[in-house]
Amino acid sequence: MKGNILVVDDELGIRRGCQRALEPEGYNVETAVSLQEARQKINSFSYDLILLDVMMPDGRGMDLLAPIQTQDPETVIIIITGYATVDLAVQAIKGGAYNFISKPFTSDQLLLTVNQGLEKRRLSLEARRLQAVEQQAKALAQAKEEAERLSEFKSRFTFIVAHELRAPVGGAQSLLRVLTRGKAGVLTDKQREILQRVETRLDQLMVLINDLLDLAASKTMAADETLPMTPLGPVLREVMSHFAVEAEQKQIVLHYEAPAESFVVQATEHGLTRIFNNLVGNAIKYTPVGGVVSVSVAVVPPHNVAITVRDTGIGIPQDALPHLGEEFFRAENARQSATIGTGLGLSIVKHMVASFGGSLTIASVEGQGSAFTIEFPRCNPG
């Protein structure tokens, strides 16, 4: 059906004529002989177009304009006017009718006017739809802006709180060291044991504070911040030697493999160290005694370098994979295998890698092991 049309006219000839002209063109045409009948039809149905006689036996067609527009503001109204009622037609157009057609009219004249009217309706509806889409887009943009503002506020708040906690916790650590080193008098074994436990707790608290600081810093890093050129090799070798003792204690073989050439990436040394300390630290933490942890560097043509930290550990359950890197997320098998951990390490890694223009991909099979690969654009030609 091309459109629903209502013909409101008391003259049978006009009603029939309109039906004869319009129905073969694929329009659904209904008729009303009085304003009262027209009102009933308008109230129960939304027409695309209404042909409306200005002079009706029970009133003026004009009186229907308001009810039609209330029902559907985009319904096109075409006034049917006789020679003597042109003034009324002009008034009706001022009141919102789209056009008028003068009696007597031919089928072609009627079709032309109706088609123009329906084209106008189509365009109005399209404009309205676009306006709605535009408004939705605006609302979405506003919501996104608000979410970003809140997220930045959260990061800044975290940064300030963590920063303020650092000094008193650091102070307490120093004071405690005076006691545990016996520099403030001799301690009983029991006292020393208790104080050492307090010291361990404070060390953990300091790690958490530093994690929160790094996380907030990596999130608020400005996109245009200029980063230094940092050679990757020395950072990785430093990280490997940092974990040598821990790996040996767990009888884990630590393996490092890199091509002879050196790679320079655009990143801070502190950031790179944090990234690989987290990844290698996790690999050792989540690999049982006797396993293997390997770090390998490889060229990814044309301009990237990839560093993969691979382990033969507990792996990551399939359903946990999408959540890795969410703040404080720890998979169930990880909680069981290592009770200590806050679940901040990978979020720091994720944000830092992103702020250095790199990418992180994770592959893992539960019970077999995991591989964390970081890809950076390299600054020196390979």
Q: Contact positions toward ligand ATP, by CB under 6 A?
A: 278, 282-283, 286, 311, 313-316, 324, 329-331, 334, 341-346, 370
Other residues' Cβ atoms within 10 Å of the Cβ of residue 243: 19
> Which of residues 176 and 208 has its CB atom nearest to Mg ion in the complex?
208
Other residues' Cβ atoms within 10 Å of the Cβ of residue 249: 10
Contact at 8 Å (CB) between 230 and 269? yes
Partners of 254 in the β-ladder: 293
Give me the half-sphere count of Cα atoms (radius 13 Å) on the Cβ side of residue 196: 9
373 binds, among Mg ion, ligand ATP, none (CB under 5 to 8 A by kind): none
For the residues of 232-284, what is the DSSP string, one character each?
Answer: HHHHHHHHHHHHHHHHHHTTPEEEEE--SS--EEES-HHHHHHHHHHHHHHHH
Spatial CA neighbour of 219 closest among 378, 373, 344, 309: 344
Give the C-alpha separation, 29 to 41, whole Å: 12
Q: Report in angstroms how near the CB of residue 141 gets to Mg ion at its nearest.
A: 36
Looking at 61, 313, 345, 358, which residue binds Mg ion (CB under 5 A)?
A: 345
Q: Report in angstroms how near the CB of residue 313 gets to ligand ATP at its nearest.
A: 5
61 binds, among Mg ion, ligand ATP, none (CB under 5 to 8 A by kind): none
- Confirm or reject binding of residue 370 to Mg ion (CB under 5 A): no
330 binds, among ligand ATP, Mg ion, none (CB under 5 to 8 A by kind): ligand ATP
334 binds, among Mg ion, ligand ATP, none (CB under 5 to 8 A by kind): ligand ATP
- Confirm or reject binding of residue 347 to Mg ion (CB under 5 A): no
- Confirm or reject binding of residue 313 to Mg ion (CB under 5 A): no
Other residues' Cβ atoms within 10 Å of the Cβ of residue 322: 10
> Which of residues 180 and 282 has its CB atom nearest to Mg ion in the complex?
282
> Which of residues 17 and 343 has its CB atom nearest to ligand ATP in the complex?
343
Give the C-alpha separation, 341 to 322, whole Å: 19
Q: Report in angstroms how near the CB of residue 348 gets to Mg ion at its nearest.
A: 9
- Confirm or reject binding of residue 343 to Mg ion (CB under 5 A): no
Give the C-alpha separation, 227 to 230, whole Å: 9
Report the residue number whose CB is nearest to ligand ATP.
Answer: 345
> Which of residues 260 and 340 has its CB atom nearest to ligand ATP in the complex?
340
Torsion of CA 217, 222, 225, 228, to 10 degrees: 30
Q: Report in angstroms how near the CB of residue 281 gets to ligand ATP at its nearest.
A: 7
Site of interaction with Mg ion (CB under 5 A): 282, 345
